[in-house]
Amino acid sequence: MARVVVEVMLKPEILDPQGQAISRKLPQMGFEGVTAVRQGKRFEIELDGPADEDAVERIRELAGTLLANPVIEDFEVHAE
Amino acid sequence: MARVVVEVMLKPEILDPQGQAISRKLPQMGFEGVTAVRQGKRFEIELDGPADEDAVERIRELAGTLLANPVIEDFEVHAE
pLDDT in tens, A27-59: 998 889 999 999 999 999 999 999 999 999 999
Q: Do A22 and B38 touch (CB under 8 A)?
A: no
pLDDT tens per residue, range B7-40: 999 999 999 999 999 999 999 988 899 999 999 9
Give residue A19's pLDDT.
96
- Chain-wide mean pLDDT for chain A? 94
- B44 and B79 Cβ atoms separated by less than 8 Å: no
- B8 and B73 Cβ atoms separated by less than 8 Å: yes
Contacts of A58 in chain B (CB under 8 A): 31
- What is the C-alpha separation between B76 and B67, in angstroms, rounded? 11
Contacts of B45 in chain A (CB under 8 A): 34, 36-37
Compute CA distances B28 → A7, B21, B23, whole Å: 23, 12, 10
pLDDT at B68 over 80: yes
Residues of B with a Cβ under 8 Å from any A Cβ are 1, 7-9, 19, 22, 25-26, 29, 31, 33-49, 55, 58, 62, 65-67
Q: Mutate which of A20, A23, A39, A65 to disrupt the B interface (most B C-beta within 10 Å)?
A: A39
Domain range for B65:
2-79
Query: What CATH number did the domain enclosing B63 receive?
Result: 3.30.1280.10
| Nearest to B5, CA basis, from B48, B41, B49 | B41
Query: How many domains are contained in chain B?
Result: 1
Which region holds residue B79: left if phi is over 0, alpha if psi is between -120 and 50, else beta?
Answer: beta
A18: nearest CA partner in chain B: B43
Determine the residue type at A60: R
DSSP A5-65: EEEEEE-TTS--HHHHHHHHHHHHTT---EEEEEEEEEEEEEESS---HHHHHHHHHHIII
pLDDT at B64 over 90: yes
